[in-house]
């Protein structure tokens, strides 16, 4: 019921008075107490007064009605505002808790320098921030072949993982370098659900993913899945983006630190480790061999007639020969037991951890043969070179640890004196 219906223009008393006046005029007119002229005039003034009263009363009621409607509208706005503020007050503790978590996370994350530790920490942080996930995956970006590789994962159920190099979602993110929120993969126009293994294999409907990137430098992607539709919010997306942005900055710093350390121990010409680093690594491995009852080989190689190569073809060709031999040595370092270095000038050393006499000699001979079969091309000239090597096995009961390097050097010069292009060993 409206306010106009609640407040009538005339109440019962006004109707009664009006009817009484009209009836009295009719009686007076009938008995001849007044003439028709005065009766009409009197009725005119009576109706005019009533009309004025009616209009003024209607205007007053209309104004009051508008005022009440306005107040009711303001009241509704205030009520809606209170509801929103109550929701905000309910959300604030959760927001504060999440903010505190992100601050603590950032403080712990910036202290890390090892890349593998950073990846482990990021996955652990996501697990704590989104405990109701179905599946979490972390992909590392391989710059050499411009592809992704799955290096970390968390899953609620025991299941095989097919997308080792990501899926359509990751490929879209690599093109856009942007975070993505998928509320329901079945309804998202950007992706074909029939091509998403998370949906086909794990029945995931909601997806949340963010790149680990700083500008154009791309390090990887973190993706979270949930079986429920519309599970993640834009606030969740911001939280994950904050974690990934911070993680990317720390990864960039870790890569720079790693690169600086590598440059400090790496020969600029051959890109092989330098002498001091190799000696420390060799001492560690040789001590481990002695204490563990195993053996290790140490080989020293020297490029034959290197001064003659420089004098005949120039130092640029000499540098190319050094690079060529360094490349041969890098080929054998695919075996994690083998460490190589440029020992100085045209001399190189190879540490063969956990190898016996026969295997060490076999590896040393394969290096010599690869050098013999190689060719350096320079201005249509083919330059051939050979190497001589000395091999020593530690421990064999005859060699003192402090003298093993000099023994390897002695064996190498013995190979030189025997005609070069050969391996001499103290076996």
Q: Please name the residue ranges forming H helices in 110-189.
A: 115-129, 168-176
Looking at residue 103, what is its pLDDT?
Answer: 76
Return the structure tokens found at 319: 């540098």
Looking at residue 307, what is its pLDDT?
Answer: 93
Mean pLDDT across 379-385: 88
pLDDT tens for each residue of 202-240: 889 999 999 999 888 899 999 999 999 999 988 889 889
Confidence check: pLDDT of 382 > 80: yes
Model confidence at 55, in pLDDT bands (50, 70, 90)? Answer: low
More confident residue, 239 or 72: 239
Model confidence at 3, in pLDDT bands (50, 70, 90)? Answer: very low
Contact 348, 340 (CB under 8 A): yes
Contact 163, 153 (CB under 8 A): no
Q: Please name the residue ranges forming H helices in 193-348.
A: 197-202, 234-265, 275-292, 306-313, 315-332
More confident residue, 51 or 158: 158
Find where tokens 């075996």 sit.
Answer: 335
Looking at residue 57, what is its pLDDT?
Answer: 65
Contact 224, 122 (CB under 8 A): no
Q: Which residues pair with 148 in a beta bridge?
A: 141
Confidence check: pLDDT of 305 > 90: yes
- Closest Cα to residue 195, out of 223, 230, 166, 175? 166
Looking at residue 286, what is its pLDDT?
Answer: 84
What integer best gives the mean pLDDT of the chain?
82
The least confident of 108-112, 158-162, 185-189, 399-403 is 399-403
290-293 contacts, C-beta under 8 A, 24 or more apart = 290/394, 290/395, 290/401
Contact 352, 366 (CB under 8 A): no
Mean pLDDT across 110-130: 90
Distance between CA atoms of 176 and 166, rounded to whole angstroms?
Answer: 15
């Amino acid at each position: 019921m409206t306010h106009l219906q609640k407040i009538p223009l005339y109440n019962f008393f006004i109707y009664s008075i009006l009817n009484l006046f009209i009836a009295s005029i009719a009686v007076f007119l009938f008995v001849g107490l007044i003439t028709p002229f005065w009766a009409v005039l009197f009725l005119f003034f009576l109706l005019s007064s009533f009309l004025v009263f009616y209009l003024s009363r209607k205007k007053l009621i209309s104004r009051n009605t508008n005022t009440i409607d306005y107040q009711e509208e303001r009241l509704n706005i205030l009520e809606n505002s209170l509801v929103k503020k109550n929701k905000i007050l309910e959300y604030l503790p959760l927001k504060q808790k999440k903010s505190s978590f992100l601050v603590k996370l950032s403080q712990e994350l910036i202290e890390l320098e090892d890349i593998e530790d950073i990846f482990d920490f990021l996955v652990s942080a996501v697990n704590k921030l989104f405990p109701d996930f179905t599946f979490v995956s972390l992909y590392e970006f391989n710059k050499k072949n411009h592809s992704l590789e799955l290096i970390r994962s968390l899953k609620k159920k025991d299941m095989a993982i097919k997308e080792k190099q990501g899926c359509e979602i990751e490929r879209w993110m690599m093109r856009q370098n942007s975070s993505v929120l998928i509320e329901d993969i079945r309804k998202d126009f950007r992706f074909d659900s029939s091509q998403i293994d998370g949906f086909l294999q794990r029945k995931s409907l909601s997806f949340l993913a963010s790149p680990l990137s700083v500008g154009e430098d791309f390090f990887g992607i973190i993706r979270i899945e949930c079986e429920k539709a519309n599970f993640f919010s834009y606030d969740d997306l911001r939280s994950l983006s904050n974690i990934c942005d911070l993680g990317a900055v720390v990864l960039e710093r870790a890569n720079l630190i790693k690169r600086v350390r590598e440059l400090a121990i790496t020969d600029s010409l051959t890109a092989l480790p330098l002498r001091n680093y190799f000696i420390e690594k060799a001492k560690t491995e040789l001590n481990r061999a002695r204490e563990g009852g195993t053996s290790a080989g140490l080989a020293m190689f020297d490029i034959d007639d290197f001064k003659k190569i420089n004098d005949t073809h120039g130092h640029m060709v000499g540098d190319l020969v050094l690079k060529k031999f360094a490349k041969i040595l890098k080929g054998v370092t695919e075996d994690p037991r083998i460490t190589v270095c440029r020992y100085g000038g045209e001399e190189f050393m190879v540490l063969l951890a956990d190898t016996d006499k026969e295997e060490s000699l076999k590896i040393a001979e394969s290096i010599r043969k690869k050098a013999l079969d190689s060719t350096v091309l320079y201005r249509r000239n083919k330059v051939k070179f050979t190497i001589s090597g000395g091999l020593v096995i530690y421990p064999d009961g005859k060699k003192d640890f402090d003298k093993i390097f000099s023994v390897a050097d002695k064996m190498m010069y013995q190979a030189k004196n025997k005609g070069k292009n050969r391996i001499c060993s103290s076996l």
